Amino acid sequence: MALELFRLVKDEAELARERVWSEVVHALERELAERSVKGYLLTTPSYFNVPKVKREQFAKQLADRVQEVIAASPEADELNFDDFALKRIEGLERIACSSFGEGGAVNPAGIALAALEDKLPHKNDQLAVKDHDRIVLVVNWTAFLVDPGDVVEAATQIDFARFPNIDRMFFEFTPGDIRLVFDRSVFAAYDKKSSVPGDLEPLYVQSLGFRMARHEPKAFQLIRKITEERGAALWIPANSRIEVVRYGRELAQSGDWDNAAWIVRTFEDDPDPSDNLTDPVGNCNYHNQIAHGETVNFIVTVRGHLCWLLQLIVAANKRDLYQHTLDIVERYALGPNLYIRQQATIPLIEFAKRRFTDLMDSSLADRIRALTLRMVRENAEYPAVLEGVANVVARTPDLTSSEAEEVLSIFLRKPDREAPQLLAFLLIYYAVFRERDNRFGTFDATNLGGLLMEQVVQGKPAIRSPILWRIHGILAERPAEVKSLLSYVAAFSAGSYDRNAFFHFYKILADCISDYPDVLVPALKEALCRERDYVNSNGHEIIWSFDRQPWTVLRKLLDSGREEDFLDCIEIVLNYGSRIYNFPPEGLSMVLGQMASGRAKKLLEHARLLCAYFHWIARGRPLWHADVDWAWAEKQLPGT
Amino acid sequence: MAKQQWEEDAKDRFLQFLSSSTSEKWAVLDEDVVVHPATNRNFDYRLGLASAGWLLNCSGS
């Protein structure tokens, strides 16, 4: 056996730095030991930039400094000086040194690959000997940064045909922990798509897994071949099976439906994640998280990933695969694992979108509808699943009025994350627009209208705000819908104050108040009163950006000739006190100054006082930007 | 060229690894084995079963 060794270091320059550090630290420890300084851990910078000839002297000076610092505070447990730290360790009979790490992002497999690429050409030349088993032993000097898996991964990225003299490579992770990381027969087997001796299978499987993770077509072909020979894919670990399924999406996107369908058939019953919900090893963690009301918004597990491949199949309109795909989706959607139920909604959304197309017959379309309703009912306690189902319901416009009422009531119990946006859409659709949609028969929206009204006024902030936002969007696109939606906007201000919802409310009013003052002015006054009462009862709250939508609404009110209503509103607003940020002093004083009524003049005086007060409390704000009477303000508030 | 300490230590641990994984005693048969005399290119260690080393020693003496 011919053996060549090399050390795996992060890089050669770092090795050199570590040598210098080690030399300085040993000299320092010796120096301090001679001076009988002990009992501390000294943490140093990670390297010293000291020329070789000066290192002894540097260590002596450093020892002086350490001694001096300790002598200055002999009782202290922790001492810091320059870039050093001393920590008292009871019973330590010397000064022990360590260094601060440098930190930063690392790529262990990349470090290994760089080292192998650098060293193997030379090692290959050194092992140019016949009739020997030619071995490279890589000794880890990266302090656990690089592990055996990283070296195997790196080795799979190297074309060992370039290094015919290397038969095997071992990696010593920690002293004595030696692992096989490359074997020529494994490399050859991959090259020729043949099998390997049984004892090399773990390395073979691991190498294949890394190649699959890089989505190498050859790795997939080999996995398919061996899986067909063995009848199942469980010979590769779950993370490799996930990679195969992820690769399936690439195949589907490139139109390779034979291989994509094979992946679906092979992995549809994969045990990852487990359906054994009492599994003590924690394979059902995501199920448990959802069961406990947590949000799980990442794609994990083999079957979890498979749902995204199924989505592509449906989205690509592969009718021949629909029946089988829906069978799987149904199984997942009604299965015990909540995480898989949640993921099943991904392809189900695509199915729901196509229910009214020629792509599917009525029996398939009915199954999708029934499954959607069943998912709502059976997941009423699981908001994270319902969020996915809400996306399906949003593509299900043919619910009956009682179904819609039932479904929306369930959703409204525990809205989660994105669900409010969808709920706002669904509530408005079923309460306002569904009746007009003749495609799906008659519809009685009475109760749904009541539900929408209830949510607009009394709903949670998370629901009210998106409803107002959506109404604003609809009105911006289709102003004629104002007649259907105005009553909800007008009723809104009867509810409590909420910053986001009020923002959208003012936006709607800015667009509509000129045309519908009789309905909206009372709502506006009520809203301003709510806002005033809210800020006055919450010491820390401030109304931001009053000079934008709210002020626009007030100006429009004035422009439409409703002077008294305008003054009513200003009177309310001035009672917000100092709680309005971005109050529009210029505009307000100008508008009030131009009005002839005694009430306007009185309000102007109030406004000036408020403005002056504002600038007084905010000092740093440039007063000359505001159209306030500076002389008057100075007179009123001589302290400024 | 004289071996560095880390090389000696790593070689010893590798011998131990070989011995425990093959249930046979392995030993260093030679070191700095030249493979290209013109350049003096060599590999670090030639290893073999300890019994083979004994045979080599016998034949060499």
Yes or no, beta carbons of B6 and A7 under 8 Å apart = yes
Last residue of a domain, one of A213, A234, A268: A213
> Tens digits of per-residue pLDDT, A578-633?
666 666 656 777 788 888 899 998 888 877 776 666 555 554 444 444 444 445 55
ipTM given for this complex:
0.89
Is the CB of residue A1 less than 8 Å away from at least one CB of chain B?
yes
> Tens digits of per-residue pLDDT, A134-159?
999 999 987 677 899 999 999 999 99
Computed over every residue of chain A, the mean pLDDT equals: 87
Last residue of a domain, one of A64, A81, A99: A99
Q: Are residues A70 and A125 in the same domain?
A: no
Q: Are residues A50 and A125 in the same domain?
A: no
> Tens digits of per-residue pLDDT, A282-293?
555 789 888 888
Nearest by CB to A5, from B18, B44, B48: name it.
Answer: B44
Q: Are residues A131 and A192 in the same domain?
A: yes
Other Cβ atoms within 10 Å of A640 Cβ, number: 14
* Confidence at residue B57, expressed as pLDDT on a 0 to 100 scale: 52
Query: Could you tell me the CA-to-CA distances from A469 to A456, A459, A474, A512, A519 in Å, in that order?
Result: 11, 14, 9, 14, 19
Q: Are residues A42 and A135 in the same domain?
A: no
Nearest by CB to A5, from B11, B36, B41: name it.
Answer: B11
Does residue A513 belong to any structural domain of this protein? no
* Confidence at residue A100, expressed as pLDDT on a 0 to 100 scale: 66
* Weakest mean pLDDT among A8-12, A409-413, A636-640: A636-640
The beta-strand segments (E) located in A22-64 are 40-44
Which long-range CB contacts under 8 A does A438-442 form with residues at least 24 apart?
Answer: A439/A356, A439/A397, A439/A398, A440/A397, A440/A398
Please say whether the beta carbons of B11 and B29 come within 8 A: no
* Confidence at residue A216, expressed as pLDDT on a 0 to 100 scale: 94
**Residue with more model confidence, A583 or A308:** A308
Q: Closest approach of chain A CAs to the CA of B57, in angstroms?
A: 17
Quick one: chain B helix, strand, coil %, rounded to 5? 50, 35, 20
User: How far apart (Å, rounded) are the C-alpha atoms in residues A8 and A173?
Assistant: 10
Nearest by CB to A128, from B11, B36, B45: name it.
Answer: B36
User: How far apart (Å, rounded) are the C-alpha atoms in residues A542 and A449?
Assistant: 34
Nearest CA in chain B to A176: B13
- Which amino acid does the sequence have at A446? T
What the block records as the tokens of A243 is 């990679």
Does residue A409 belong to any structural domain of this protein? no
Yes or no, beta carbons of B35 and A129 under 8 Å apart = yes
User: How far apart (Å, rounded) are the C-alpha atoms in residues A415 and A368?
Assistant: 23
Q: Are residues A90 and A131 in the same domain?
A: no
Give bridge partners of residue B42 from the DSSP assignment: B34
Q: Are residues A18 and A59 in the same domain?
A: yes
H or E segment and range at residue A491? helix A482-492
* Confidence at residue A95, expressed as pLDDT on a 0 to 100 scale: 86
What the block records as the tokens of A171 is 């990696």
Please say whether the beta carbons of A227 and A233 come within 8 A: yes
Window 4-23 of A: residues touching B by CB (8 A cutoff) are 4-5, 7
Mean pLDDT of A248-260: 96
User: How far apart (Å, rounded) are the C-alpha atoms in residues A477 and A623?
Assistant: 41
Q: Closest approach of chain B CAs to the CA of A175, in angstroms?
A: 7
Q: Are residues A115 and A206 in the same domain?
A: yes
Structural domain range at position A599: 584-640
As for how many domains chain A has, the answer is 3
CB contacts, 8 Å: A139 with chain B: 6, 10
Q: Taking the domains of chain B in order of start, what are their residue ranges?
A: 5-60
pLDDT-based confidence at residue A559 (cuts at 50, 70, 90): very high
Cis omega before residue A273 (within 30°)?
A: yes
* Strand, helix or coil for residue A175: coil
**Residue with more model confidence, A168 or B60:** A168
Mean pLDDT of A11-24: 76
Last residue of a domain, one of A155, A187, A213: A213
- Using the predicted structure, report yes or no on whether residue A72 has a pLDDT greater than 70: yes
Window 28-57 of B: residues touching A by CB (8 A cutoff) are 33, 35-36, 41-48
Does residue A570 belong to any structural domain of this protein? no
Q: Are residues A135 and A207 in the same domain?
A: yes
- Which amino acid does the sequence have at A175? P
Q: Read off the pTM.
A: 0.74
**Residue with more model confidence, A283 or A305:** A305
Q: Are residues A199 and A163 in the same domain?
A: yes
> Tens digits of per-residue pLDDT, B11-24?
999 999 999 999 99
* Weakest mean pLDDT among A245-254, A298-307, A410-419, A447-456: A410-419
Give the residue from A196, A195, A268 showing the smallest Cα distance to A229.
A195
> Tens digits of per-residue pLDDT, A23-34?
888 889 888 988
pLDDT-based confidence at residue A76 (cuts at 50, 70, 90): confident
Q: Are residues A184 and A133 in the same domain?
A: yes
Residue A632 phi/psi, 5-degree rounding, is -65, -45
The beta-strand segments (E) located in A131-191 are 134-140, 168-174, 177-183
CA quadruple A569, A570, A572, A578: dihedral sign: positive
* Confidence at residue A612, expressed as pLDDT on a 0 to 100 scale: 63
Q: Closest approach of chain B CAs to the CA of A181, in angstroms?
A: 14
First to last CA, chain B: 25
Give the residue from A48, A55, A77 showing the smallest Cα distance to A85.
A77
The beta-strand segments (E) located in chain B are 26-36, 41-49
CB pairs under 8 A between A and B: 60
Q: Regarding beta strands A84-88 and A78-81, do their DSSP bridges make them parallel or antiparallel, or are they unpaired?
A: antiparallel
pLDDT-based confidence at residue B52 (cuts at 50, 70, 90): low
Please say whether the beta carbons of A605 and A574 come within 8 A: no
> Tens digits of per-residue pLDDT, A426-438?
999 999 999 988 8
Nearest CA in chain B to A131: B46
Nearest by CB to A129, from B10, B43, B48: name it.
Answer: B43
- Which amino acid does the sequence have at A551? W
Q: Closest approach of chain A CAs to the CA of B61, in angstroms?
A: 23
Does residue A208 belong to any structural domain of this protein? yes
Mean pLDDT of A258-263: 97
Does residue A243 belong to any structural domain of this protein? no
* Strand, helix or coil for residue A327: helix
* Weakest mean pLDDT among A253-257, A435-439, A575-579: A575-579
Mean pLDDT of A12-21: 74
**Residue with more model confidence, A72 or A346:** A346
CA quadruple A615, A621, A622, A628: dihedral sign: negative
Q: Are residues A189 and A122 in the same domain?
A: yes
